[in-house]
Chain A
Amino acid sequence: MKKIWSGFFKHFLTLLLISIIFISGILLILELRHFSFPEEQEEKYSQRKYCVLVLGTSANEAFITQVYEGALSVSREYNTAVILHVPNSQAENISTQTLMDYAEYLKPDCIIAYMNPNEKNLKLPKKADGSQIPIITVGNYIPDIPSLSYIGINYSQVGKIVAEEITSSLKNSGSVYIIDMNMDNNPNYSMLMNVLMNSINSEKDITVNTLTLPMNSSFSREDAIRQQIASSDGLKLIVSLSEEFTVLTSQTLTDLNIVGKTQLIGFGDSADSHRYYEKGIISTLISINTRDIGVKAMREFFEFRETGYANNYVTSKVEVLKRSSK
């Protein structure tokens, strides 16, 4: 009996040692995988057929980045690589023409470019054969530019939406303070304001006031907003038409501890804006789906490639997030 157990133990020990040797060897071999970098593997499967260049100046970096992300989200659908080119800093003062020249040097299949208002005499980029590279404009509509399509915001519609929200928030009576952005020379802003004012003015019991920020003030924008809001009594509703002012106003309302007393209708689709909305500081958040602009731009270009036709004017979605009033 002892001999049988001894033999069994020896066989078991032999198998165990052989298993240990194999497992140790396999583990050593598996260590090799730590020495290959994933980027090298990913590179093999990243090649695309088409190239779309998204251009914009640094002043509009946030906007154009959102457009880029929208275009990137559908790039695989169209077997396309999307390149974003935004100058590094505002100090470089690069013009839109410089960007166009860059595009001509790079020779992409399509360009999605942010147009500043009043852009004139732009020399559009050409291919090697001299034909124009298809260009889709965003930001501001410039009729003189022979773009394939313009994907933009219907500011008239936005003005109407803001007017509706004001009316709804004040329940058809009360005072609203609109933060003046000093962009009267901006046609889009002018259109928006015109439509807004026209719509509000039809409500006789609603008074529209403007919170004007001093242009050449030594104060920062935050202090300027704070000063204006603090000095204004009985603020029930504030409207901010830009994301930057929306966030600053939210911070001011929080600091002054008048969140529950003063409602805020703001613009923006960043994480900060949404966070203030979730906290209830912003009662109505109007966001323009900038990513949708990029998506639509891609679709227009490739529809043009396939059919030879594209929509000249496409508007992006406007989303309204609203908290129910207590």
Chain B
Amino acid sequence: MKIETFKNFFLSLKHSSIRAKIVFSLAVSTIITMSLTILLSVIVTHILEDSGKSYQSNAELDLYLMQLSETEAAMETYMHYRTFESIDKYYHYEAAAERTISMMNDRPSENEFLQREYKIHNLSLTFLELGNKAIAARRANNSLDTDYYFKKCLDCYNFLRSEIIDLNMLYFTRNATNYNTMKNNTSRFISRAILSILIILVSVSILIYMSIMKITQPLKEISQVALKVADRDFDITLFNSDSRNEIGNICRAFDAMIISIREYIDTIWEKAMKENELREKEIEMRALYTDAHFKALQDQIQPHFLFNTLNTGAQLAMIEGADKTCYFLEQVADFLRYNIQHPGSDATIQEELGMLDNYIYIMKVRFGERYKFIKEIDETAFNVRMPNTILQPLVENCLKHGLKDVSENGKITIRVQKNSSDIQITISDNGKGFDPEKKDRIMSDAERGSNGIELNRHDDVNEEHVSAGLVNVVSRLQLYFHSGNVFDILPNPEGKGTMFVINIPDNTEHNF
């Protein structure tokens, strides 16, 4: 039962509030200090009392001896001179002596001091009795009795005086011994007391320090954790405190906060990951869709039939001797063949330029010398791969848009330049330039993966078709090279007009 009580007490102490713990510690240390002070005061008071008491007995005996002496002297004076003053003095000191006698031990005793006191008591009573008898006889003028009692009184007084002196000396000896003993005890006590007090004070200080540490250590840990959290470091160990005081509450609140922050971060991270996945899937889907759409277009055209038909026409022209017609038809067939034989994704720059040459020939036949085509090609970049059907739509864009209103001196420049970090292909014209708003729309459509095709619009079908083609080119370039900076539309630096810039990263995975 007692063990259970102690256990409950310590548990309640453990789970008590900080204020209660501090108050308890202070109260205990104060009580201990006060108890020490009171104890030392009691001991010092006891020592002082004993010191005083030890010589009090001597002082009292001296006083009594003086009273007896005065009594005897007064009696002698009265015996001789019978004066009023002497009898008055006699009775005065006799009364004082009687008072002192009444405080003495009046029973036999084994103890030497009490025994002597008993003797003094009895002798004193006899002395006073004989003295009174002598006084009475003197008053009655009975000289015989006066002499008899006076003599016996003096005799008794001598014995009494001797006993008092002996007892006084005995007290003095005992008091001196007691004083020496007390002095030794006091000096021993002082040294032990200093040691005990030092030990108690050190122990109390250590206990108070431990209590303070116990209270402040969790606060220190909490502050360290708070600083880490402020620095966005959530990789910390939870407190998992089972204490039911304020510190415990703070620890549990902190743990809950850390857990919820971590969960929130995890949730956001998962969401971001999912959004990224979805976006990539959407881009892939769009690319696939475009590819499929293109393929569908290719399928719609029935390329093999067209190719075969063109070949047949070329043969017919050759039979009829129309060489130019035959060459023209072959170029068209080559152009179509390129598109048929590269149904997939990419081709080399050389192949792309070859297809572009076919297209340029076809355009020259169509437009004559209306447009001039300038080529500056770095042949070291020939083996670099790129998506197919990129350059031709750009040149087509220059012809149909940039140089639309140019009737003469129209120029289209095609450059392929190998730099240290990339291969730059530029197709520029000296036409009317490119509308910045359209450029932004095209670039944003390409960014979003939109093909910009609105098949039901009729007001400017050609413009819509060109935009769709450019968006398709930009999207495929961005998808192929995984970069948003692979294509740009700039003003022609040579004056007026537009320049399409393709920056192909010099990445070995796209090269042979």
Contacts and interface: CB of A to CB of B under 8 A. Distances in A.
A17 B29 CA distance: 13
Interface stretch (B70-78, B119-127, B500-508): B119-127
B189 A20 contact: no
B196 interface: yes
Contact of B109 (A35, A48, A76): A48
B210 A21 contact: no
Contacts of A39: 111, 113, 174
A29 B206 contact: no
A105 B122 contact: yes
A106 B196 contact: no
Contacts of A17: 203, 206-207
A43 B46 contact: no
B23 interface: no
Nearest to B124: A105
Nearest to A81: B108
A28 B203 contact: no
B178 interface: yes
Q: For B36, B107, B188, which residue has the most chain A Cβ atoms within 10 angstroms? A: B107
A34 B464 CA distance: 119
A228 to B, nearest CB: 43
Contacts of B119: 83, 106
B110 A48 contact: yes
A80 B36 CA distance: 47
A290 to B, nearest CB: 21
A76 B109 CA distance: 11
Interface stretch (B152-160, B441-449, B471-479): B152-160
Interface string A68-108: 00000001100011010000000000000000011011110
Nearest to B196: A24
Interface in A15-51: 17-18, 20-21, 24-25, 27-29, 31-32, 34-35, 37, 39, 42-43, 46-51
A47 B39 contact: no
Contacts of B118: 51, 81
Q: For B50, B109, B193, which residue has the most chain A Cβ atoms within 10 angstroms? A: B109
Q: For A17, A51, A83, A105, which residue has the most chain B Cβ atoms within 10 angstroms? A: A105
A21 B50 contact: no
Interface residues of B, number: 45
Contact of B199 (A20, A32, A34, A106): A20
Q: How large is the interface on A (under 10, 10 to 19, 20 to 34, 35 or more residues)?
A: 35 or more
Contacts of B123: 105-106
B113 A31 contact: no
A106 B155 CA distance: 12
Contacts of B193: 28, 31
Contact of B114 (A27, A47, A102, A106): A47
A238 to B, nearest CB: 42
Given A51-B118, A101-B155, A27 B196 contact: yes
A46 B111 contact: yes
A14 interface: yes
Interface string B114-155: 110011001100110000000000000000000000001001
B108 A28 contact: no
Contacts of A14: 207, 210
A258 interface: no
Secondary structure at the A interface, as helix, strand, loop or mixed, is: helix
Nearest to B119: A106
A203 B328 CA distance: 196
A47 B107 contact: yes
Contact of B152 (A48, A76, A101): A101
B114 A32 contact: no
A48 to B, nearest CB: 4
B47 interface: yes
B114 A46 contact: yes
Contacts of B99: none
A10 interface: yes
Contact of A28 (B39, B50, B204): B39
A321 interface: no
Contacts of A102: 159
Interface in A172-199: none
Contacts of A34: 185, 188-189
Contact of B39 (A21, A25, A81): A25
B46 A51 contact: no
Interface in B25-64: 32, 35-36, 39, 42-43, 46-47, 50
A13 interface: yes
Contact of B32 (A21, A29, A49): A21
B196 A35 contact: no
Contact of B182 (A18, A20, A35, A50): A35
Contacts of A32: 42-43, 46
Nearest to A98: B155
Interface string A299-315: 00000000000000000
Contacts of A25: 32, 35-36, 39, 196, 200
Contact of A21 (B159, B192, B200): B200
A17 B122 CA distance: 60
Contacts of A81: 108-110, 115, 118
A113 B36 CA distance: 59
Contacts of B126: 104-107
A49 B43 contact: no
A105 B114 contact: no
B122 A13 contact: no
A27 B192 contact: yes
A43 B174 CA distance: 14
Interface in B178-211: 178, 181-182, 185, 188-189, 192-193, 196, 199-200, 203-204, 206-207, 210
A76 B50 CA distance: 31
Contacts of B196: 24-25, 27-28
B242 to A, nearest CB: 13
A31 B185 CA distance: 9
A244 to B, nearest CB: 29
A122 to B, nearest CB: 16
A102 B122 CA distance: 11
B13 to A, nearest CB: 11
Contacts of B210: 10, 13-14
A21 B181 CA distance: 28
Nearest to B192: A31
12 contacts: A18-B203, A21-B204, A25-B35, A25-B36, A27-B196, A35-B50, A46-B114, A49-B108, A51-B118, A104-B126, A105-B126, A105-B127
Interface of B: 32, 35-36, 39, 42-43, 46-47, 50, 107-111, 113-115, 118-119, 122-123, 126-127, 152, 155-156, 159-160, 174, 178, 181-182, 185, 188-189, 192-193, 196, 199-200, 203-204, 206-207, 210
**Top 3 nearest A-B pairs by Cβ distance?**
A81-B108, A46-B111, A51-B108
